[in-house]
Amino acid sequence: GAVVSQHPSWVICKSGTSVKIECRSLDFQATTMFWYRQFPKQSLMLMATSNEGSKATYEQGVEKDKFLINHASLTLSTLTVTSAHPEDSSFYICSASGTAEHQPQHFGDGTRLSIL
């Protein structure tokens, strides 16, 4: 149980393109979904936390107009990187946790984004 599906796995696109990444909880309802970014050989960095039906809470230094997050249902959250540039190239990972207390975050497989 507790499967989180994330896609696409890989995206390579030109600078200026907007890229949408989907995160789905397949077998549980995810009250909260999290979006992380990880640069090579560095720690996970939390970008934002989203609760179903409400606006996402962004971490300090993360541009909310550049990284648009939508959590429209209890099983789906999307991250859109708008007008992506080479410095946005990174490994983006979503996670989701269920409704009960003390639930672990379960991670999607991540999306490797390369902006040329």
Residue 43 found at the interface with other proteins (CB under 8 A): yes
Which position among 46, 62, 68, 76 is part of the footprint of other proteins (CB under 8 A)?
A: 46
Which position among 58, 90, 108, 115 is part of the footprint of other proteins (CB under 8 A)?
A: 108
3-state secondary structure the chain: CCCEEEECCEEEECCCCCEEEEEEECCCCCCEEEEEEECCCCCCEEEEEEECCCCCEECCCCCCCCEEEEEEECCEEEEEECCCCHHHCEEEEEEEECCCCCCCCEECCCEEEEEC
Piece of the chain touching other proteins by CB under 8 A; list 11-19, 42-50, 68-76, 80-88: 42-50
Distances (CA, A) of 18 to 63, 64, 66, 71, 109: 15, 14, 9, 18, 21
User: CB-wise, 79 or 83, nearer to other proteins?
Assistant: 79
Number of residues that bind other proteins (CB under 8 A): 18
Which position among 56, 93, 96, 115 is part of the footprint of other proteins (CB under 8 A)?
A: 93
Site track for other proteins across 52-91, x = CB under 8 A: ---------------------------------------x
List residues binding other proteins (CB under 8 A).
Answer: 2, 6, 34, 43-44, 46, 91, 93, 95, 101-102, 104-110
